[in-house]
Amino acid sequence: MIEREDVGTDGRIAVLRLAHGPVSAMDLELCQAVTEQLRGLVADPARAVVLTGTGSSFSAGVDLRRILDGGPDYVQRFFPALAEMFQVAFELTKPVVAAVNGHAIAGGCVLAATADVTLMADGKGRIGLPEIKVGVPFPRIALEVVRYTVGEVAYRRMILGAATHTPADAHAMGLVDQVVDPAELTARAIEVAQGLADKVPADTFAATKTQLRRECLERTARYADEDATGIALWSRRATDGWMARYLESVTRK
């Protein structure tokens, strides 16, 4: 489900590859596995992290078929696990570089945005937040992650516009820091991660990253009650036909 390789000049850059089905769609098990891996890195000797995918996708976002099959009972377990994964990724105080190797849709986009630096392979991959078309809201932490990454105006446009973007357009809006030749993506991500680990003492990097992200995390805690509304709406969409119609419309394309 997640493949790890330790690389870099000192062997202490942890490359984590999402490898869950053909597009690493986010289900309960993947969210829990990512959370476990990232939590383990807190006390791990790894000095920095590269988060990437396999094949043509970084992650295609939430596995909507699992939502439809599992219904409200599944949503009650999945939604908190999704939010927890985003929060643990955003809170990790070690340097994190996302190497977006292809499509990063909805939750995949949010996970990429939790990184300190986001690289994306040039090509046909798309990145964005079409979640509102599915008829569901994001967990509060996801909103804060995107706001932190692209700013107040752009994040509203991204979420309400529900579009997906080319690598060049994502770079222009600040969602992606660099667009990289696909053949060089992993090597470049490792190079950036190594640079972040080498040029700043680990404790200084951790303290600074905590300062930068504190207000986002405080707002997440302040508005935690919103996630109850999120669970209710995801549960409704799992049974009222809206999500099923959306899934049918995108799978016909």
Query: Exposed, middle or buried, 191 (CB in 10 Å: 0-12/13-18/19+)?
Result: middle
The answer to whether 231 and 67 are in contact (CB under 8 A) is no
Per-residue tokens: 135:
């008829």
Q: Active-site residue among 29, 91, 131, 191?
A: 131
152 is annotated as an active-site residue? no
Nearest C-alpha neighbor of 138 from the set 87, 213, 193: 87
- Here the contacts of 208-216 (C-beta below 8 Å, separation 24 or greater) are 209/93, 209/116, 210/93, 213/90, 213/91, 213/148, 216/90, 216/144, 216/145, 216/147, 216/148
Catalytic residues: 131
